Amino acid sequence: MKQTDVNNINVECTDKLAQETIQKMIAEAICARKNSYAPYSNYQVGAALLTADGQIITGCNIENAAYGPSNCAERTAFFKAVSEGIRDFRAIAIVGSPKGDVLMQYAYPCGVCRQVMMEFCSPSDFQIIVAQAEEDYRIMTLMELLPEGFGPENLH
Ligand SMILES: [Zn+2]
């Protein structure tokens, strides 16, 4: 995909969510990141998941001394929501950087989290916001981050 195409898609996505909503989600993700438990990687992540009815469910990454049981911020948010009976989602905001208050990079979701999103979200509609500040973010659809993904539709 050419760079111009990517820019066009970003503009379209930004139009779908109100600027105010995006900034609120980023603020919630930054707040959730404060609860990150990452004593091993020192990489702290926060996420804010927007439900279809307008709720924001947050999550942080939670590491473990055995490494394997560690969980990403995005999946923490998804599993919190699903465990409360919520399965319809519009977007997720993600902030992640090495330990400290300064966000110094865009933290894109890992492959496992993209697959979890694929289970519950429409790839062409679900929006993923990666941010370094409330005014500094990028938006992509799940389709862009997980093209040709395998999901529930494959089993119907
Ligand atoms: Zn992940």
DSSP string, 98-149: ESSS---S--PPPHHHHHHHHHHS-TTT-EEEEEEETTEEEEEEHHHHSTT-
Query: Whole-prediction pTM value?
Result: 0.90
Six-digit token pair at 145? 């981050």
Q: Are 77 and 48 in contact (CB under 8 A)?
A: yes
Given 12, 28, 63, 74, the catalytic residue: 74
User: What pLDDT score was predicted for residue 3?
Assistant: 39
Average pLDDT over residues 75-97: 98
Q: Are 82 and 120 in contact (CB under 8 A)?
A: yes
CA 37 – ligand 1 centroid, Å: 14
Whether 2 has a pLDDT exceeding 70, the answer reads no
Residue-range domains of the chain with CATH: 3-145 (3.40.140.10)
Which residues crowd ion ligand 1, with CB under 5 Å?
Answer: 72, 110, 113
Average pLDDT over residues 95-100: 97
CA 21 – ligand 1 centroid, Å: 23
Let me know if 74 is a catalytic residue: yes
CA 31 – ligand 1 centroid, Å: 18
User: What pLDDT score was predicted for residue 105?
Assistant: 97
User: What pLDDT score was predicted for residue 1?
Assistant: 36
Q: Cα 40 to chain center, whole Å?
A: 22
User: What pLDDT score was predicted for residue 156?
Assistant: 85
